[in-house]
């Protein structure tokens, strides 16, 4: 695991080194300075720095892991002959609009997964002088390193292990973001109003980078995060960092938000995933299944799927609620309609 984390950190540093060459101070720059052009809308930008940062990240990954697949924001998916089974998800510049406008919340984000399990992640924010990283079962960490200078850090500060937000504090802050599409944005506003009320949040924060939002939940700056419609590379690294900091995390069920959007959640939100809606025109949607399993050890059966004493858990992207009865456990599962087979494979003992 240490080797994968070392590669992730080296790749994120390489991407951030390109971003650190942004000309001038943190002031808005013109299109001609950045080689900028729009993608899906007038607010969705890509710059030469996005491309250069992704090139740098891919160079590091190919050098150390030539048989791994790569999925990146600018160049899409890259397959290889004799694949290793490991796949990297990279966002070379998360927060492009911030980068253009001179706002410091932008970063390079790198994560790797194997057979559906995310195993290492690193995020570097050069204008903030901050790095975050994590490995599966190895904890999450952050350090201040000062502004990057041509890819080389100053003497780094001692890493700090992350443990998530303080529980029970007042003035809780919820982080989120909004889509470029006006129709989806209206849906997001509606759902966030529910979250602010249910989670007793005092205010919202919109930093403009989902990766950094998740890092700031991990380090306790923010209390929770909820966003609908993120792409996988937006949340891949940040979600593992938050998870390894001990924060409850729920990843989107589908990686492609343009066709099958879903919620990415972190922290105590006051609402469970199954209580949040998906858009009415969602091509897959959610389903609710009811079943039961005969057992004389109800608590023992439930605890095979969760480390806590709770009667609810998440498995195969389904929220599973258990009700104990005499000699049985009744199960209600809510999740993606195209994931029923995977759920039933995980819960083979349940009669649906």
Average pLDDT value for the chain: 89
Question: Could you tell me if 226 and 204 are in contact, meaning their C-beta atoms sit under 8 angstroms apart?
Answer: no
* pLDDT grade for 41, boundaries at 50, 70 and 90: very low
Does position 197 have pLDDT exceeding 80, yes or no?
A: yes
Q: Which residue do the tokens 């079943």 mark?
A: 291
SS3 168: coil
The model's pTM is: 0.86
Query: What's the whole-number mean pLDDT along residues 97-120?
Result: 94
Amino acid 38: pLDDT: 53
Question: Could you tell me if 260 and 278 are in contact, meaning their C-beta atoms sit under 8 angstroms apart?
Answer: no
* pLDDT grade for 253, boundaries at 50, 70 and 90: confident
Non-local (6+) Cβ contacts of 294 within 8 A are 327, 328
All structural domains of the chain with their residue ranges:
2-157, 173-275, 286-346
Q: Which residue has the higher pLDDT, 152 or 56?
A: 56
Domain 173-275 bears CATH identifier 3.30.565.10: no
DSSP one-letter string for 26-89 = SS---HHHHT-EESSSTT-EE-HHHHHHHHHHHHHHHHH-TTSEEEETTTEEE--SS--SEEEE
* pLDDT grade for 215, boundaries at 50, 70 and 90: very high
Non-local (6+) Cβ contacts of 258 within 8 A are 231
Q: Nearest Cα to 112, choosing from 266, 239, 231, 261?
A: 239
Per-residue pLDDT reduced to its tens digit, 277-336: 888 888 888 899 999 999 999 999 999 998 766 788 888 888 899 999 999 999 999 988
Does position 149 have pLDDT exceeding 60, yes or no?
A: no
Query: What is the fold, at CATH topology level, of the domain defined by 2-157?
Result: Fructose-1,6-Bisphosphatase; Chain A, domain 1 (3.30.540)
DSSP one-letter string for 231-260 = -HHHHHHHHHHHHHTT--EE--SSS-TTTS
SS3 345: helix
Question: Could you tell me if 210 and 228 are in contact, meaning their C-beta atoms sit under 8 angstroms apart?
Answer: no
Amino acid 274: pLDDT: 79
Q: Which residue has the higher pLDDT, 235 or 182?
A: 235
* pLDDT grade for 34, boundaries at 50, 70 and 90: low
Q: What is the DSSP letter of 273?
A: G
* pLDDT grade for 258, boundaries at 50, 70 and 90: confident
Phi and psi angles of residue 298, each rounded to the nearest 5 degrees, phi first: -60, -45
Q: Which residue has the higher pLDDT, 145 or 52?
A: 52
Q: Which residue has the higher pLDDT, 214 or 150?
A: 214
Amino acid 46: pLDDT: 61
SS3 of 279-315 = CCCCCCCEEEEEEEEECCCHHHHHHCCCCCCCCEEEE
Amino acid 278: pLDDT: 86
């Amino acid at each position: 695991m240490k080797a994968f984390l070392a590669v992730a950190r080296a790749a994120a540093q390489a991407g951030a080194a390109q971003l650190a060459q942004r000309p001038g101070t943190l002031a808005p720059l013109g299109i001609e300075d950045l080689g900028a052009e729009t993608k899906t809308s007038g607010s969705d930008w890509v710059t030469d720095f996005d491309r250069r940062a992704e090139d740098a990240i891919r160079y590091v990954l190919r050098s150390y892991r030539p048989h791994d697949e790569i999925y990146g924001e600018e160049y899409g998916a890259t397959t290889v002959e004799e694949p290793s089974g490991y796949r990297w998800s990279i966002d070379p510049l998360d927060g492009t609009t911030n980068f253009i406008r001179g706002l410091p919340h932008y970063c390079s984000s790198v994560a790797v997964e194997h057979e559906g399990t995310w195993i290492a992640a690193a995020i570097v924010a050069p204008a903030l002088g901050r790095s975050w990283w994590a490995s599966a079962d190895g904890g999450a960490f952050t350090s201040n390193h000062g502004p990057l200078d041509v890819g080389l850090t100053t003497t780094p500060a001692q890493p700090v292990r992350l443990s998530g937000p303080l529980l029970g504090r007042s003035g809780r802050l919820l982080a989120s973001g909004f889509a470029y599409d006006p129709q989806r944005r209206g849906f997001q506003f509606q759902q966030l109003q529910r979250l602010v009320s249910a989670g007793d949040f005092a205010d919202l924060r919109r930093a403009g980078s989902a990766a950094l939002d998740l890092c700031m939940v991990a380090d306790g700056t923010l209390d929770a995060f909820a966003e609908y419609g993120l792409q996988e590379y937006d949340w891949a690294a940040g979600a593992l960092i938050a998870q390894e900091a001990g924060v409850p995390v729920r990843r989107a069920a589908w990686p492609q938000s343009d066709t099958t959007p879903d919620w990415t959640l972190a922290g105590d939100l006051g609402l469970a995933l199954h209580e949040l809606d998906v858009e009415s025109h969602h091509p897959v949607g959610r389903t609710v299944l009811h079943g039961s399993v005969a057992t004389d050890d109800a608590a023992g059966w439930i605890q095979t799927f969760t480390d806590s004493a709770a009667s609810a858990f998440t498995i195969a992207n389904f929220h599973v609620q258990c009700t104990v009865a005499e000699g049985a456990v009744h199960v209600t599962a809510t999740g993606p309609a195209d994931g029923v087979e995977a759920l039933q494979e995980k819960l083979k003992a349940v009669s649906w």
